[in-house]
Chains A and B, each alone.
Chain A
Amino acid sequence: MRSRLTLRNAEAAPLKAIEPFSAAIFAERLLRDLKGGYRLISYFAQKTGGQNARLYAVIAYDDDGLLRVAATDVAGAFESLTTDTPQAHLFEREIFEQTGLVPKGHPWLKPVRFTGASPEGMGVMKFHRVEGAAVHEVAVGPVHAGIIEPGHFRFQCEGETVLHLDTALGYQHRGVERSLKGGPDKRSIHYIETLAGDTTIGHATAWCQALESLAGVDISFRARGIREIALELERLANHVGDIGALAGDIGFLPTAAWCGRLRGDFLNMTAVICGNRFGRGLVRPGGVAFDLAKSQVADILNRLNEAHEGLDAAVPMLFDSPSVLSRFEETGRLSIHHAVDLGLVGPAARACGIEHDVRKNFTRRPEPSTRFTISTWSTGDVFARGMVRWLEIQRSIAYVRDRIRGLPEDGSMRPMKPPRNAHVAVSLVEGWRGEICHTAITGADGKLALYKVVDPSFHNWMGLAVAMRGQQISDFPLCNKSFNLSYCGHDL
């Protein structure tokens, strides 16, 4: 009897528990599940020699908090599901680029990261084009006007109105996944911490959860608590920065200036814990490398109260000002249908009314004592993406306050063991941009045979493109900022 594997978040199982389906049944069941409310959270191929490869699909059902891993063995090609379920579109392109397996029937097969492209070939692909006498094309990037990572945007416009946006990324491709193979070694954790440098804690936590489950090591409750606190501080810093940047993009300077400062205050709280503003060196397999002394707890609580007061003065005025609302409301609107179809995650999905958050849906055993509320909005526009961040900021502050006072005293670091051989683990973390998914597979030697990272940006870039349809091109910076996606997290 062929079967798929059912796992909880950050649980490992022997690889042999996944018995590959025939390609036809694999595709049929995957499509049925994705149409029935499952989300495709990771989809990748492992080469098994020559043209042969094993395809793995990891799907998640938000209501039961369970993950399912299914596999099939294919040679040279596989059925594309993109036409029926768009959330597969980028995964299939990625599989094609990384392994050469052809997704048969993919409507728009083109590079994802331009792996191995010649210098002249970089960014050169067939962009979606709109024909017509009044249509013109606008090309932006890879180098952008601000201090920001590179990527190329190609707009099809009629006058000021954007008909379509096509995105060419890959400029940041550093070959991280490839380098993680054969590990873990002394470089691995540092690769993970720089996958997306603004999400150091998020990715490092996902990595450690994966390794710990592969090794069968349970970390202390204290270490889990400190990781969660650091994760929320990372969310706070970035959300506060994003709200400031949204204000800056429309010229509402008070909130822009104050949030710019307050963002740093949150980064400095992380530095109180470990000395580094981005949390480098804090999260390590087995626990956390820095414990929290009573004086540090008091220091963080003080800073948190001060920052909270500052935010209460800086942020509500943004959402109360008519001049702001006229720019935020109805701008870059994305419907819940599109968001579901594209498999959007994080604040961008919650701003469309999707109740999905790893912190609530995919809790690890034992369940945390702190109750958690998902922050959503319904309008799917720039306002909603800003407002969801503001709701999350307030809830994160309350969460950190609660968690940091009640940290158990069971140590901060436990001895690690090597990963078990021929095992698979899936690890999810709700990073500030949304769901981070790491899948680890060990070989017969216990080394990583495959490590697959899905940054939330991988799901969400297409959401930005769809949100831009029918918008003024001058609103692109504002819409882009409201998603604030990672380039290197996508390009890895």
Chain B
Amino acid sequence: MGLIDILLARAKQGHRTIGYPKNPPVLPELFQGRPIVRPELCRSGCGKCADVCPTGAITLPTHIKNPELLLFATSDDAGGGDDTLSLDVGRCIFCGECEKVCGDKAIEFTKEHRMAASSREALKLSGETYEMAKALDKKALKVFGRSLKLRQVSAGGCNACEADINVLNTVVFDLGRFGIQFAASPRHADGLLITGPVTKNMELALRKTWDAVPEPKIVIAVGACAINGGLYAGHAETRSGIPSWLKVDLYIPGCPPHPITILDGLLRLLGKLDE
């Protein structure tokens, strides 16, 4: 195998980097993206969606929690205020069970890949609006906007989130073209990208890694586990997601999120996407 053969093979490989974000991403036909919750469609009030949810992501309005109140419920109750059917997409592992059991089509998974959010509250869905992740403030963008170096810490992650973060470094996604790179040392990083429910056995290591990152620094949570503990929320062995001593700047939901969802979140954080 000589250099010429390698060059010939290289020529055959062609250009393989996707056109995203200029062109829309190519997603699997059966892709489960961001859910839409339509409380006004929930007529039966059966509560089955919450029953089948493995991570407790669904909150029912009071009149469904207390079926005897259902008799007195009016149609106004469904949509009004905080007391309404909602789905916390931060906890959601996208198993789709809620959609399957809902006879009213009140919960529906769409093909929408854009799911990252800037606050925990924005991940709690009710109705069709969704507040997408905002860019860092001007001062932070001046520091990170053209070059963001992240240290990845897996703290109980199952290696699915990690694997689909890793693919961003392949020629397909070519993360480097956006000025984003993963650094080997926290001292060379501008922030942490955390996966996993943060096991108790990893918390100290996470803290030491955080302490080693120079200021100013940011935190990105990838996957249901990091956001809220996911399936592992409430386990004595975990901290149910990123502990409160860290302030999260970007939440990327999913189990695991599709690489495009992660990329979309990172680009929004750096103000590189308009809509």
Contacts and interface: CB of A to CB of B under 8 A. Distances in A.
A276 B32 contact: yes
A282 to B, nearest CB: 10
A317 B10 CA distance: 11
A263 B9 CA distance: 18
A175 B202 CA distance: 14
A488 B205 contact: no
| Chain A CB within 10 Å, residue with most, of B12, B96, B203, B204 | B204
The majority secondary structure among interface residues of chain A is loop
B1 to A, nearest CB: 4
A280 B154 contact: no
B54 A186 contact: yes
Contacts of B165: 147
A198 interface: yes
Contact of A119 (B53, B204, B231, B237): B204
Interface stretch (A54-62, A101-109, A252-260): A252-260
B74 interface: no
B256 interface: yes
Given A117-B201, A147-B152, A488 B157 contact: yes
B6 A254 contact: yes
Contact of B161 (A115, A197, A263, A275): A197
Given A122-B204, A147-B166, A150-B202, A190 B1 contact: no
B208 to A, nearest CB: 8
A119 B207 CA distance: 11
Interface string B139-177: 000000000000111111111111111110111100000
B8 to A, nearest CB: 9
Interface in B87-105: 93-97
B251 interface: no
Contacts of B163: 197-198, 278
A313 interface: yes
Interface in A175-196: 175, 179, 186-187, 190-191, 194-196
B155 to A, nearest CB: 7
| Chain B CB within 10 Å, residue with most, of A113, A114, A194, A486 | A194
A272 B28 contact: yes
Contacts of B201: 113-114, 117, 122-123, 170-173
A317 B6 CA distance: 8
Nearest to A290: B30
Given A261-B172, A264-B167, A280-B255, A174 B159 contact: no
B197 interface: yes
A273 B29 CA distance: 9
B171 A277 contact: no
B158 A281 contact: no
Interface stretch (A10-18, A32-40, A138-146, A156-164): A138-146
Nearest to B208: A143
**A interface bracket (residues with beta carbon within 8 Å of B):** 35 or more
Contact of B205 (A143, A145, A198): A143
Contacts of B55: 187
A280 to B, nearest CB: 7
B273 interface: no
Nearest to A323: B1
| Chain B CB within 10 Å, residue with most, of A117, A119, A147, A268 | A147
A367 interface: no
A119 B153 CA distance: 17
Contact of B52 (A143, A175, A186): A186
B231 A194 contact: yes
B13 interface: yes
Nearest to B26: A268
A263 B29 CA distance: 19
| Chain B CB within 10 Å, residue with most, of A272, A487, A488 | A488
A342 B221 CA distance: 39
6 contacts: A119-B200, A143-B151, A147-B154, A147-B165, A173-B156, A276-B32
Interface of A: 113-115, 117, 119-120, 122-123, 142-143, 145-150, 170-175, 179, 186-187, 190-191, 194-198, 200, 254, 257-258, 260-261, 263-264, 268, 271-278, 280-281, 290, 310, 313-314, 316-317, 320-321, 486-488
Given A149-B154, A172-B201, A277-B164, 8 more contacts: A119-B200, A123-B201, A145-B185, A148-B154, A148-B162, A271-B28, A275-B31, A317-B6
Interface of B: 1, 5-6, 9-10, 12-13, 16, 28-32, 52-55, 93-97, 151-167, 169-172, 182, 184-186, 196-197, 199-205, 209, 231-232, 235-238, 255-256, 258
